[in-house]
Amino acid sequence: MTSTERALARLHTRIRSCTKCVEAGYLPSAFPIVAGKASDRVMIIGQAPGAVELTTGLPFSGRAGAELRRWLADAGIDEAHLPYRTAITKCFPGKAASGAGDRRPSPPEVALCAPWLDAELALVRPRVVLLVGTLAIERFWGRVPLSDVVGRSRVDGDRILIPLPHPSGASRWLNDPDHREKLRRALAVVRRAVRGLDNAASAVRMRRST
């Protein structure tokens, strides 16, 4: 195990034992969820775990996660090579008061959890970051309409940011045919970015073998 792998294992242990939002009175109980390896070159950042994740202990394992994995498959990322998976906040926030979907974490909850995400990014150093949903997009891209950013990418230091809509069935954004076309273009952007990583890795291996 490398020093980075050991450091990430320690970080995951600290994240999973975090109770900051419970102590602050925002959540009745804590169950932080995160998964991934130090060698992952792609990172998915969502909003927060859902109710199903409380039973599996794995990010993106509910219905929205299944839809996201279908999107990833369309972009050339299969189940055997799932990226690092994390979220803006690491605990299930509960259902929305309206009953439609999950509650959006509040700004104080986001602030309490932000150091964990910052530490993950610093250790894993992903080359491609998929921003799933408006909360993740706002954190790294700014407050913009989904229709303005889905299908685009942005270089942020040594990583590429690629916004995606939230795959939740509670979202109606993809009911619009124009928005579905934007998603198709976004997945093409993901495919090209991942292919670029593979090509770069192949070039490195070839140089080392000569």
Q: Is the pLDDT of residue 85 over 70?
A: yes
Instruction: Report yes or no: 76 and 191 within 8 Å, Cβ to Cβ.
Output: yes
Q: Is the pLDDT of residue 203 over 60?
A: no
Mean pLDDT of 16-25: 97
Mean pLDDT of 128-135: 97
**129 DSSP β-pair partners:** 43, 161
Q: With a threshold of 0.75, does the pTM exceed it?
A: yes
Instruction: Report yes or no: 101 and 10 within 8 Å, Cβ to Cβ.
Output: no
Looking at residue 60, the DSSP 8-state letter turns out to be: T
pLDDT, tens digit, 9 for 90 and up, residues 25-55: 999 999 999 999 999 999 999 999 999 999 9
pLDDT, tens digit, 9 for 90 and up, residues 94-122: 988 887 778 999 999 999 999 999 999 99
Mean pLDDT of 161-178: 90
**Number of domains the chain contains:** 1
Residue type, 127: R
Q: Is the pLDDT of residue 92 over 90?
A: yes
Mean pLDDT of the chain: 92
CATH number of the domain bearing residue 137: 3.40.470.10
Q: Is the pLDDT of residue 124 over 70?
A: yes
Secondary structure of 162-173 in HEC code, one letter for each residue: EEECCCCCCCCH
Q: Is the pLDDT of residue 127 over 70?
A: yes
Predicted pLDDT at 206: 46
Q: Is the pLDDT of residue 204 over 80?
A: no
Cβ within 8 Å of residue 104, ≥6 positions away: 47, 93, 96, 135
Mean pLDDT of 173-188: 96
Q: Which structural domain range is residue 126 located in?
A: 3-209
Predicted pLDDT at 210: 56
Instruction: Report yes or no: 47 and 136 within 8 Å, Cβ to Cβ.
Output: yes
Predicted pLDDT at 79: 87
